[in-house]
Every structure is written in C-alpha cells, then in structure tokens.
C-alpha cells in the first residue's frame, strides 16, 4: 500500500558533491548467479581491492539482509521479488550518498533483473557469475544443496526453482573454469574505469 502524504525530502548536499568529496563515481555492481557460484567471494575480493585504492564501498549480501531488513520474507515468488526490490532501493540510497555498492544476490530471472534495472538505472553494472549447477552442488559451501536434496529447503534455485540464463549482462565471469585471482582481475578491469569521476 502506497502512502499518499509522503513527499521527497530536499537534500541540500547533492550526490555529485558527495561523489566529488569521495573522489569516485558511485555505481552498483550487481553480481548474480546460483548459490555457491562465488558471488560473495568475488564481491568481498572486489571490495578489498577498491578499498585498498581508497574508495568508499559497501557490500549488500543476501545472507546478511535476510537476517535483518528482509527477515520477514520467505522464498515464494512474491517474497523473492520483494526481497530484490528492497535491496535495489537500499542500493539506490547508497548511490545518493556517493558510495560504491557491490551486491551479491541469486536474482534468478529476468523479471527480477528488470526490477533492479528500473530502480538503479544507468548506474547499474550487471555481472553474471556463471557456474554450473553440478559444480555448485559439488562445492556446496553452505550445505544448502544437501539440505535441498533432503527436502529441507523448498523452492531451491536450480533444483526446484529455475535459474534463467541472463540475456544481456554487462559482464560474465566463469568461476567454474577461472581462478579467483583471474576472475577478480577481469571484474576489476571492467568496473574500475566506470568508477572514475569525469573531469
């Protein structure tokens, strides 16, 4: 339900000023792919690199947000959509603060990705972290694939709920056949120039 008596507050410190103060262009790098594909690992590696370069960053990760802001949401199609919408809105607030955002979420279909695009707009960098279901299941870092196979997790993406291959991500990182070091190098090579302020 949308409130009809809410107005947007006037921010006397513009996003552009905040970006100039931080010496960076705020963007959202949104990593999506199957559970266990390496999204969070890559997000953390990218953040460490950016912070080492003096950049102001923040990671939005599915696990942390589902224990806080989105703890009221389950894994139905409706709840998944609301989860992603909320995260995109939070990312947009960070953009207005001049902060570089790195998001790591499964984001399993084009409808959800379209929601992200509509909220964030041209400041979005979409990165598909590609890894086969079989390889992710073999890794099973969090034990989720075993739980899904035992019937303890319903609507598990890639097994009970489909993961739709993206149509046009800005970048594809193949973590199944590429080391973390090389994956990070490729990601950084794409992202870093887009974080530079234009003179």
pLDDT tens track for 159-195: 667 889 998 999 999 999 999 999 999 999 999 999 9
In sequence order, which residues have a C-beta less than 8 Å from that of residue 187 and are 6 or more positions away? 29, 42, 46, 127, 171, 173
User: Does the pLDDT value for residue 153 go beyond 90?
Assistant: no
Q: Give me the pLDDT at residue 5, please.
A: 61
Fold of 21-193: Rossmann fold (3.40.50)
Closest Cα to residue 129, out of 35, 60, 195? 35
How far is the C-alpha of 22 from the C-alpha of 183, rounded, in Å? 27
Q: Give me the pLDDT at residue 174, please.
A: 97
Q: What are the pLDDT digits (tens) for 15-45? A: 999 999 999 999 999 999 998 999 999 999 9
Lowest-pLDDT choice from 52-61, 93-102, 135-144, 165-174 = 135-144
Reported as type and span, the H/E element at residue 52 is: helix 39-52
Read off the pTM.
0.88
């Amino acid at each position: 339900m949308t409130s009809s008596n809410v107005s947007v507050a006037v921010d006397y410190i513009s996003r552009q000023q905040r970006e100039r103060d931080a010496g960076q262009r705020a963007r959202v790098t949104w990593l999506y792919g199957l559970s266990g594909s390496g999204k969070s690992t890559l997000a953390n590696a990218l953040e460490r690199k950016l912070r080492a370069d003096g950049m102001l960053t923040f990671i939005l990760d599915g696990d942390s947000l589902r224990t806080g802001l989105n703890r009221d949401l389950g894994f139905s199609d409706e709840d998944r959509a609301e989860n992603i919408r909320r995260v995109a809105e939070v990312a947009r607030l960070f953009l207005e603060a001049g902060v570089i955002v790195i998001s790591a979420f499964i984001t399993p279909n084009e409808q959800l990705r379209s929601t992200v695009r509509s909220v964030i707009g041209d400041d979005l960098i979409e990165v598909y972290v590609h890894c086969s279901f079989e390889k992710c299941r073999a890794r099973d870092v969090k034990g989720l694939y075993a739980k899904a196979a035992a019937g303890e997790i319903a609507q598990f993406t890639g097994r009970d709920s489909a993961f739709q291959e993206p149509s046009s991500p800005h970048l594809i990182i193949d973590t199944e056949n590429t080391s973390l070091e090389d994956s990070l190098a490729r990601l950084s090579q794409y992202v870093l120039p887009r974080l530079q302020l234009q003179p």
